[in-house]
Structures are given as C-alpha cells and as structure tokens.
Amino acid sequence: MDLTPKSENYVELVQKAFDTQGFMKYLGVEIAELRPGYCELHLPFKPELDQHHGYFHGGVIGSLADVSGGFAGFSLLPEGQAMLTVEYKLNIIAPGAGDFLKGTGRVVKAGRTLTVTEIDVFGVRDGVETQCATAIQTLMAVSA
Amino acid sequence: MDLTPKSENYVELVQKAFDTQGFMKYLGVEIAELRPGYCELHLPFKPELDQHHGYFHGGVIGSLADVSGGFAGFSLLPEGQAMLTVEYKLNIIAPGAGDFLKGTGRVVKAGRTLTVTEIDVFGVRDGVETQCATAIQTLMAVSA
Amino acid sequence: MDLTPKSENYVELVQKAFDTQGFMKYLGVEIAELRPGYCELHLPFKPELDQHHGYFHGGVIGSLADVSGGFAGFSLLPEGQAMLTVEYKLNIIAPGAGDFLKGTGRVVKAGRTLTVTEIDVFGVRDGVETQCATAIQTLMAVSA
Amino acid sequence: MDLTPKSENYVELVQKAFDTQGFMKYLGVEIAELRPGYCELHLPFKPELDQHHGYFHGGVIGSLADVSGGFAGFSLLPEGQAMLTVEYKLNIIAPGAGDFLKGTGRVVKAGRTLTVTEIDVFGVRDGVETQCATAIQTLMAVSA
C-alpha cells in the first residue's frame, strides 16, 4: 500500500485540523507522533474522564480511538480535503487504567473515497502499556 | 422478550451508577427517560464538545451512544450487578447538529451473561430531530 | 428519508443482479419481497448449511444478512450502478433454527455515495419467527 | 497474553468440531494451519462461490472470516467446551479474487467468558496474496 502523503504540509494540516476541535482540548488529547498513515495520541488521566471505578470512561476510550484513526487517515489527504468518520467498531478488552491513554491508528486501506484504519488503545502506567481496546474504522474523504 | 426489571429500585440504581461517572458530568449528560430495557439521554451543546465545523464531535456522539445502550441494559439487572461494554459499532449518518443530542438505547436481547442493544442518536434543534447515528452494542453483566 | 426508486425497473434490476450471483443459488436463497429500500430474502434449511448442532451456520446467517441489506440498498439505485458492501457488523442473538431463514434489510440512510442499512435475520419454524441476528451495514454505489 | 492451550488434544478437538459443520464441507474449506490462538483456513475457488463479477462472494469471505476467528479461539478451550460467535464486524477492502481464499484468525484477548479475535482474509493467486477483508470478532465459550 502506498503511504506517500499527498501534501508536503501534512503535519501542519493535521495539527491545524486537530486544533479546531474543541472536544480534543476539553479532553486534553495531544498528538504524540504523526507519520503518513499513522497517528499516535496521548491523553493524560483526570477525574473528569472516569467511570464508576475510576478508570478512563469507555466513551473517552472510544473518542480517542475514533480520532487516532481519523488523523491517521487525514495524514494522507491532499490539501483542501478533510476526513469524516463513516463508522467504527470498538472492542473494549480491559479497563482503561493508567496515567495516560495512548491511541494508535494506522491506515490499512487508502482508497480514493474510503479509507480503513485499525486502531489500538492502551492504558500506560509507569511506562507499562496494557491494551484496553481495539477497533476498525471507515473514513470518507470530503472537500474541506 | 421479557423486560421485567429484576430490581424494584432499578431507577435509583441506574441514577446512582450514572452519578458516579465523572465523564457524564463533564460532558453534561442527563437521563431524560428510563424504562425497563430503554434509556434516553440528553446532552446540551456547548463549544467544548464540538469538532471543526461546530457540530457535536463524533467522540461525543459515540460516548452518548455507548452510555444510552449501557443504561438500557443496566435497567434490567438485579441489584449488585453492573454492566460492562464489551463492544459497539456506530455509524455516523449525519452531522451531530442541534441544541442538544438525544441518545436512545433499547435492549434487543437480554441474556444471562450478554445483553445486546440497539441505539439511535439524534440532533435536536427547535424540537426537530435529525438522526445522526445508529449503533449496535454488546454488554456483559458483572458483579458490581 | 426519500425512498423513491431512481429506476422504474428496480425490481428487474435487482432480480437480474441477484441471479448472477452463483453463491445465492448454491445456498438456495430466494427474494421474497422487494420494495424501495427494503428487501426480504428466504433461505430453506438443508443439511449442507448447518453447523455442529444442526442449526443454520453462522456464516449462512451472515451471508443472508449481507445480501438482504445489499439488495435493499440496490433497489434505490439508478440503472447502471451496483452496490458494494463496504462493511457490516452482525450480532448473533440466538441459534439460527427453523425450516427457513428470513433476512430483512432496510435502508436507514441513502446518501449519494454511501448507504446504511439495518438488517434482521429470523429463523422461522411452523410460521413462528425467532430473531437470530441483527446487523448494521455500509454500502457504496459504484458504476456497474 | 497466555496462549497455552488448555487441552493437549486441541488439534484433534478443533478438527473434530470443524468436521461436524456441514457448511464448511459444502464450501470446501480446509484447515491449513493451527496453533494455539491462531487458525489459518484455505478455500479454493469454484463458480458456486462467486458474485456477479466472478470473485468470491462477500458472504463467502465473511463466512471464512467468522470461522477462522472461531477456531483460533476454540484452540485455547479446555475439552468439553465450544465457541459461539457473539458478533463480528468485517470490512471488505478489495475484491476476493484468486485461486483460493486464505483466512487467518488470531486471538487478541482470551478471557474466561469472552474471547476477542482479529481476522484477515486474502485472495491468493499464483502465490501472491492480496488482502480482501479485515475483521474483529467476539466469541463466547460455552459447555459443548
């Protein structure tokens, strides 16, 4: 699969799109790594993000998964396009526990219209990663 | 399908579980209606919940869907049990636009171990509902 | 949602597309009802379709679900287009037991590029229907 | 993750369960490789398995995916248990073209009750593999 970015400025374009999403700021998500077809996001724990046992809420895990995949796909777009989430499916395989959540999205199919990503989410405590979710996502490129 | 609640206090039990989730308070979600096997949640818009076009962020839509289904299932549990989300799959079919989001979850299969729900999410503006997402979710009952 | 078919000949177009699929004949699937945005398929039991307990195999249930949704979407296409399955997600909620399987697909979103369907599958024995699966599916229209 | 099989006879147990499924024989599926937590299945092309363009039908791809994951999970079960498919989600990312289909399932979470697998399906022509689908599946262990 060809993962050549269609814009030289893909890093700035992703960061710019990311910065316009109020919800990412509200959660506290940061871009930790970005390569063509790959995006890693970090989200530090705070009590506002928890569920009844003090772990990261499932909705937070799902949100991080969705955005990790979305920007993995976005990184391959030409300037002037944006990515919409068509759908995703997420399995939660362990509690989201740790100092921060790490979401990794990678493109497995980059089509003209549709892009498919695979996503893993990990809880990280003292440098030890425990996978808490896995997902598959479908994205659609649209004119921005 | 038998939707008789296994606890007389199912409304209080759901509300209590809901209130312990910091993330629901942080988003601003409220329980609008609860019946055995059915849960409707409302979430007023605020800029902290938006994406780049000023609509509700997909992660917010997904979170509301997940919790709408989760508490629909929770409403049928006996006292002393809780619901875990095993997985869900969400299609976003329109932008999440409106004064508030409305999430509706309903149980389609209530098994001894696993519960399956179907979920719809709507953007509501001036009383007009526009569906923005549909989902299927699998839940597992565990000892609380 | 507008469910006006874009071709007057949608019934013949669906039947023609259906008839070119060797796998439908091999399974023994028949179109039982077709309306714009809705397709109902029947599949009589035969031992070649079973799993270890003598019920319809999960793969058969999934195949019927996929095709029920696919032709529900196909019914709304203009002449000269075909439907591809982008993805689907299926929950099996009971064994597929009965004299025949009944799959029903209905369009919940008919977009220019993408169509979303919801699908239910039932086992039918002596006229009594028992739901065995529920699914959500994403389709893409392409030039035939 | 611990992938130690709980039965010394896991290969025979899987083969035995596989052989009781009439639908696998009807399709022509064979077990190509089995390790604890991993299963690879092959399915030679025949015209009865095609869709309108002469490729493997999506239902065939989905069936192979479902069973590849199912037996990956089954391989870790103690004697006397069987695996039920709770649900799966499948993205078709290319036509299923080739001399045979190859399905690979691997366990990513082996819980006491639930098992999660990731599955890839490839079309293989003249030794060249092209991925046609990716899936996530949830399984439940039950008494056989």
The residues near A66 (Cβ < 8 Å, ≥ 6 apart) are A85, A88, A135, A137, B58, B59, B62
Label residue C52 by pLDDT band (50, 70, 90).
confident
Share of chain B above pLDDT 70, in %: 100
- The pLDDT, as a whole number, for residue B144 is 84
Share of chain C above pLDDT 90, in %: 92
CB of C76 within 8 A of CB of D84?
no
Half-sphere exposure (Cβ direction) of A92: Cα atoms closer than 13 Å: 27
Looking at beta carbons, which residues of chain D come within 8 Å of A93?
108-109, 111, 116
Arithmetic mean of pLDDT, C98-122:
97
Share of chain C above pLDDT 70, in %: 100
**A134 vs D91, D111, D118: nearest CB:** D118
- The pLDDT, as a whole number, for residue B12 is 96
**pLDDT beyond 90 at B52:** no
Domain ranges in chain A are 10-143
**pLDDT beyond 90 at A54:** no
Tell if the CB–CB gap between A108 and D89 is shorter than 8 Å.
Answer: no
Tell if the CB–CB gap between C118 and B134 is shorter than 8 Å.
Answer: yes
Rounded Cα gap, residues D71 and D127, in angstroms: 24
Rounded Cα gap, residues D85 and D114, in angstroms: 10
Rounded Cα gap, residues C129 and D95, in angstroms: 34
Tell if the CB–CB gap between D86 and B113 is shorter than 8 Å.
Answer: no
Share of chain B above pLDDT 90, in %: 92
DSSP string for A64-85: HHHHHHHHHHHTTSPTTEEEEE
- C114-127 confidence digits (pLDDT tens): 999 999 999 999 99
Of D21, D5, D142, D23, nearest to D82 (Cα)? D142
Task: Find which of A129, A136, A137, A139 to mutate to test the D interface (most D CBs within 10 Å of its CB).
Answer: A136
- The pLDDT, as a whole number, for residue C144 is 84
**B23 vs A25, A59, A64: nearest CB:** A59
Mean pLDDT of chain D: 96
- B101-136 confidence digits (pLDDT tens): 999 999 999 999 999 999 999 999 999 999 999 999
CB pairs C-D closer than 8 Å: 109
Label residue B54 by pLDDT band (50, 70, 90).
confident
Task: Find which of B86, B91, B120 to mutate to test the C interface (most C CBs within 10 Å of its CB).
Answer: B91
Question: CATH number of D10-143: 1.10.3720.10, 3.40.50.300, 3.40.50.2300, 3.10.129.10?
Answer: 3.10.129.10
- The pLDDT, as a whole number, for residue D2 is 82
- The pLDDT, as a whole number, for residue A44 is 98
Tell if the CB–CB gap between B84 and A92 is shorter than 8 Å.
Answer: yes
Label residue C2 by pLDDT band (50, 70, 90).
confident
**B22 vs A49, A82, A89: nearest CB:** A49
Write down the pTM of the prediction.
0.97
Nearest residue on chain B to A57, alpha-carbon basis: B23
Q: Which two tokens stand for residue B135?
A: 């989902």
Arithmetic mean of pLDDT, D117-141:
98
**pLDDT beyond 90 at B53:** no
Arithmetic mean of pLDDT, D108-118:
96
**pLDDT beyond 90 at B2:** no
Tell if the CB–CB gap between B51 and A86 is shorter than 8 Å.
Answer: no
- The pLDDT, as a whole number, for residue A96 is 97
**pLDDT beyond 90 at A83:** yes
- A65-75 confidence digits (pLDDT tens): 999 999 999 99
**A58 vs B22, B47, B85: nearest CB:** B85
Looking at beta carbons, which residues of chain B come within 8 Å of C92?
none
Q: Is B41 left (phi over 0), alpha (psi -120 to 50) or beta?
A: beta
**B114 vs D89, D136, D140: nearest CB:** D140
Looking at beta carbons, which residues of chain C come within 8 Å of D105?
none
Write b or e for each residue in B6-21: b if 16 or more Cβ atoms lie within 10 A of its Cβ, otherwise e. ebeebeebbeebbeeb
Q: Which residues of A touch C (CB under 8 A)?
A: 86-87, 89, 113-114, 136, 138, 140
Looking at beta carbons, which residues of chain B come within 8 Å of C111?
93
**D59 vs C25, C67, C82: nearest CB:** C67
Tell if the CB–CB gap between A108 and D93 is shorter than 8 Å.
Answer: yes
Tell if the CB–CB gap between A138 and C113 is shorter than 8 Å.
Answer: no
- The pLDDT, as a whole number, for residue C7 is 92
Label residue C69 by pLDDT band (50, 70, 90).
very high
Label residue D124 by pLDDT band (50, 70, 90).
very high
Tell if the CB–CB gap between D140 and B89 is shorter than 8 Å.
Answer: no
Label residue D54 by pLDDT band (50, 70, 90).
confident
Quickly count: other Cβ atoms within 10 Å of residue B30's Cβ. 14
Chains that touch A (3 or more CB pairs under 8 A): B, C, D
Of D108, D65, D60, nearest to D85 (Cα)? D65
